[in-house]
Amino acid sequence: MDQQTSILIIYTGGTIGMIKDQKSGVLKPFNFNNVYQHIPSLKLLDYKIDNFCFDPVIDSSDMNPLVWGEIAKVIKSNYEKYDGFVVLHGSDTMAHTASALSFMLENLNKPVILTGSQLPLGMIRSDGRENFVTAIEIAAAQEDETPIVPEVAIYFEDQLMRGNRTTKYNAEHFEAFRSPNFPALADVGVYIKYNRPIIRKPNFKNLKVHTTMDNNIAILKLFPGISSQVVNSVLNTEGLRAIVLETYGSGNATTELWFINALEKRIKQGLIVFNVSQCQGGSVNMAKYQTGIMLQDIGVIGGHDMTTEAATAKLMYLLGIYDQAEPVRKKLQVSLRGEMTVA
The answer to whether 150 and 110 are in contact (CB under 8 A) is: yes
Peptide bond into 180 cis (omega under 30): no
Percentage, residues of the chain above pLDDT 70: 92
Kindly state whether residue 81 falls inside one of the protein's structural domains.
yes
Q: What is the pLDDT of residue 57?
A: 87
Confidence of residue 161 (pLDDT cuts 50, 70, 90): very high
Could you report the per-residue pLDDT of 93-105, keeping only the tens digit for each? Answer: 999 999 999 999 9
pLDDT greater than 80 at residue 301:
yes
CATH, residue 261: 3.40.50.40
Q: 158's torsion region: left (phi>0), alpha (psi -120 to 50) or beta?
A: left
Confidence of residue 337 (pLDDT cuts 50, 70, 90): very high
Higher pLDDT, 23 or 286: 286
The predicted structure's pLDDT at residue 327: 97
111 closest CA partner among 145, 128, 132, 136: 136
Residue where a domain terminates, one of 143, 175, 209: 209
Examine the pLDDT at 146 and tell me if it is beyond 60.
Answer: yes
Of 12, 15, 115, 167, catalytic: 15
**211 in catalytic set:** no
159 and 10 in a common domain = yes
* Cβ-Cβ contacts under 8 Å for 113 (sequence gap 6 or more): 84, 85, 86, 87, 135, 138, 139, 149, 153, 154, 155, 160
10 & 79 share domain: yes
The separation between the first and the last C-alpha atoms of the chain, rounded to the nearest angstrom, is 47
Are 144 and 68 part of one and the same domain? yes
pLDDT value of residue 123: 65
Asked whether 243 and 266 are in contact (CB, 8 A), the reply is: no
Least confident interval from 14-28, 105-119, 208-222, 236-250: 14-28
Residues 175 and 307 in one domain: no
Q: Which residues pair with 244 in a beta bridge?
A: 219, 274
Number of domains in the chain: 2
The set of residues, in sequence order, having a beta carbon less than 8 Å from that of 144 and lying 6+ positions away, is: none
Name the CA radius of gyration of the chain, rounded: 21
pLDDT band at 181 (very low <50, low <70, confident <90, very high): very high
pLDDT at 1: 42
Mean pLDDT of 88-115: 95
User: Final residue of a domain: which of 180, 209, 238?
Assistant: 209
In this prediction, residue 2 carries a pLDDT of 62
Which H or E run includes 115?
Answer: strand 112-115
Q: What is the pLDDT of residues 197-242, one digit of tens each?
A: 999 999 989 999 999 999 999 999 999 999 999 999 999 999 999 9
Predicted confidence band of residue 315 (pLDDT cuts 50, 70, 90): very high
Domain interval for residue 319: 217-332
Model confidence at 22, pLDDT cuts 50, 70, 90, reads low
187 and 229 fall within a common domain: no
Where in 205-306 does DSSP place strands (E)? 208-209, 217-221, 242-247, 272-277, 301-302
Same domain, 148 and 285: no
Residues 110 and 142 reside in one and the same domain: yes
Instruction: For residue 60, give the CATH number of its domain.
Output: 3.40.50.1170
* Residues 138, 204 within the same domain: yes
Q: Above 90 in pLDDT, residue 341?
A: yes
Residues 273 and 294 reside in one and the same domain: yes
Please indicate, yes or no, whether residues 189 and 55 belong to a single structural domain of this protein.
yes
- 204 and 290 both lie in a single domain: no
- Mean pLDDT score of the chain, rounded to an integer? 90
Residue 140 has pLDDT above 70, yes or no: yes
Last residue of a domain, one of 175, 191, 209: 209
Sign of CA dihedral 101, 87, 202, 99: negative
Q: 31 pLDDT exceeds 80?
A: no
Q: Cα angle at 103 between 100 and 109, to 5 degrees?
A: 120
Comparing CA positions, the residue from 123, 133, 124, 140 lying closest to residue 158 is 133
